[in-house]
Amino acid sequence: MKQVVFITGASSGIGKVMAQYLAQQSFTVYAAARRVERMQDLTHQGINILSMDVTDENSMVAGIQHIIDKEGRIDVLVNNAGFGSYGAVEDVPLEDARYQLEVNVMGAARLIQLVLPHMREQRSGKIINISSIGGKISMPLGAWYHASKFALEAISDALRNEVRPFGIDVVVIEPGGIQSEWSGIAVGNGLKNSSQGAYKQMATKFADAHSKFATRLSDPLIIAKLVWKAIIAPKPKTRYAAGFMAGPLLTLKKVLSDRMLDRILSSQLQ
Ligand SMILES: NC(=O)c1ccc[n+]([C@@H]2O[C@H](COP(=O)([O-])OP(=O)(O)OC[C@H]3O[C@@H](n4cnc5c(N)ncnc54)[C@H](OP(=O)(O)O)[C@@H]3O)[C@@H](O)[C@H]2O)c1
C-alpha cells in the first residue's frame, strides 16, 4: 500500500519540489496552499491538490477530512507552509508578529491536532516539521521569524515524546538558504518595516546581503531528499539540516559564545 503524504506550502519553493519528488518515489501525495492556480501543474504528475490557508480553521478541517475520506489514512504530515515577517522588533507591528506565529506555529500545531487521532488509530505516522537553521540561531531583523521557528522546534521535542507510545515519530528539518520565494518575501517585509527609521542601515544591508548570496542558495531538491530520507528511515534522526551555510552556522552556534556569534552575524549588517 502506498503511504499517504500531506504537504503544506506546496505552491512554490521547497514544498512544491518536495511534492513532485515524493510523488516520483511512489507516495500518494496531497499538496496544499492558498494559491491553487500555482499547483495546477502538479495534478499532471498525479498529485492531489487542496486549497488551504493554515490560518483558517475550516479549510484545515475540510482538507484533512478530504484526505481521510479518500484514502482512509494519513501516514506523513509535512508542516512546510511558512514565511518571514522581517523587521526590527521596535518596528514590526504586533499584529504582523501575531500573524507570523499564526502561520508558522499555530497552523502547524492545528494540523498536528487534526492528523493525530488518525495516526494514533493506525498506530503509525510521521510528523515532519520544516523549521530552519533560524530555529537554532536568531539574527537581527528576524526576531518574529526566529521566535516562530524556535517555537516549532520546542513543540516538536515535546510532541516527539508524547506520541512515541502510539508508534508516531516527529522529525525536524532545518534548511539553510534555499532557492524559493522566501527570501524575496522576507526582504520585502524587512524593508517595509525598517527601511525608514533607526534601523534603516541595517535593513538596507540585510537586503544587500540577500542579493549578494542569492546565487549561492541551494536547490530545494536537497530538502525534498532529506524529507524522503526521514520518511523511509525506520528510526530517523530527530533533526536533519542541509542547504547553504546550514552546517557552518550550526557548528558556530555550538562552539562560540553568544558574544562571539553576535560579532560574526552583526558584521554583515552594521
Ligand atoms: N528558503 C529558505 O532559505 C528557507 C530556509 C529555512 C527554512 N525555510 C522554511 O521552509 C518552508 C518553505 O519555504 P520556502 O523557502 O519554500 O518559501 P516559499 O517559496 O515562499 O513557499 C512558502 C509556501 O508557504 C505557503 N504559505 C504561506 N502562507 C500560508 C498560509 N497562510 N496558508 C497556507 N500556506 C501558506 C505558500 O503558499 P501560498 O502563498 O500559495 O499559500 C508557499 O507555498 C517555510 O516554512 C520556511 O520558513 C526556508
Domains of the chain listed by start with CATH number: 4-267 (3.40.50.720)
Ligand 1 atom with the shortest distance to the CA of 8: 34
Give the pLDDT mean for 238-262.
Answer: 97
Query: Is 12 touching ligand 1 by the criterion CB < 6 Å?
Result: yes
Q: Band of the pLDDT at 31, cuts 50, 70, 90? A: very high
Report how far ligand 1's centroid is from the alpha carbon of 260 (Å): 31
pLDDT (tens digit, 9 = 90+) per residue, 161-212? 999 999 999 999 999 999 999 999 999 999 999 999 999 999 999 999 999 9
What whole-number percentage of the chain has pLDDT above 90?
97
Ligand 1 and 82: CB distance under 6 A? yes
Q: Is residue 168 within 8 Å of 150, Cβ to Cβ?
A: no
Burial 219-255 (b: 16+ CB within 10 A, else e): ebebbbbbbbebbeeeebeebbbbbbebeebbeeeee
What number does the ligand 1 atom closest to the CA of 11 have?
A: 43
Single-letter residue type at 119: M
Cα(237) to ligand 1 centroid in Å equals 23
Mutate to test the pocket of ligand 1, among 38, 83, 129, 227 (most ligand atoms within 8 A of CB): 83
Query: What is the mean pLDDT of the segment spanning 147-162?
Result: 98
pLDDT above 90: residue 267: no
* Nearest CA-CA partner of 89 in 190, 205, 187: 190
Residue found by looking up cell 499547483 in the block:
39
What residues contact 43, with CB distance under 8 A and at least 6 apart? 49
| 37-85 pLDDT per residue, tens | 999 999 999 999 999 999 999 999 999 999 999 999 999 999 999 999 9
pLDDT at 141: 97
Q: What is the pLDDT of residues 99-135, one digit of tens each?
A: 999 999 999 999 999 999 999 999 999 999 999 999 9
Inform me whether the pLDDT recorded for 268 exceeds 90.
no
Active site residues per annotation: 145
pLDDT at 269: 80
Asked if 85 and 100 touch (Cβ cutoff 8 Å), the reply is yes
What's residue 230's pLDDT?
Answer: 98
pLDDT of residue 1: 84
